[in-house]
Amino acid sequence: MIAYDPSEWNDLFVATAGASAALAGLVFVAVSINIERILKLPGVPARALETVLLLLGVLLVSVVCLIPGQSHVALGVELLVVSLAVAAIVVRQPVVVSGDGAPPAWLWTRWALRLTGTVPLAIGGASVLLECGGGLYWIAAGIVLAIAGAVANAWVLLVEILR
């Protein structure tokens, strides 16, 4: 079945591996150019790490799916390990709150980016492992959402910190 056969998705994984690696490299360059300003702003270094990790997650998931001849069990376990490891680090990044302890108004968007960029990948891993529930369609959704979240974060790192 196509939802559980990574060989049917080969072109997608080749494209997303290359795109995510290129984007991660661009984020590294952008952060290095603006490192002094990024380090001075509370919470922004964590956002930079979050951005790179979202792209690294896409890269690793894509590479794992390109390994030929794997059983659905091996692929599902690998996808779960990668996605849960990335998610664990991403969700642990601090979100800066105001001096009065009130959460910022944009807090929900940060959590939405984090969760939509990581949770579908974990669901996809479990689905591939169990061969039910959508399989690699979850992985495709997670890839798209992780890249979108990383690009949104990159916008903040490149443009918003200069305002």
Residues of the chain with pLDDT under 50: none
**Is there a domain that residue 150 lies in?**
yes
Query: 55 Cβ partners below 8 Å, 6+ apart?
Result: 20, 21, 23, 24, 27, 146, 147, 150
**R_g (Cα) of the chain, nearest Å:** 17
Q: What local confidence, expressed as pLDDT, does residue 99 receive?
A: 58
**Is there a domain that residue 137 lies in?**
yes
**Is there a domain that residue 99 lies in?**
no
**Is there a domain that residue 78 lies in?**
yes
**Is there a domain that residue 23 lies in?**
yes
**Is there a domain that residue 102 lies in?**
no
Are 151 and 47 in contact by the 8 Å Cβ rule? The answer is: no
Distance of CA 136 to the CA centre of its chain: 16
Q: What gap in Å lies between CA 147 and CA 130, rounded to an integer?
A: 26
What are the tens digits of pLDDT across the range 61-107? 999 999 999 999 999 999 999 999 999 998 888 776 655 555 666 67
**Is there a domain that residue 65 lies in?**
yes
What is the extent of the structural domain holding 153? 2-93+107-162
**Is there a domain that residue 139 lies in?**
yes
Q: What gap in Å lies between CA 54 and CA 86, rounded to an integer?
A: 7
State whether residue 27 is helix, strand or coil: helix
Q: How many domains does the chain have?
A: 1
Kindly report the pTM of this predicted structure.
Answer: 0.89
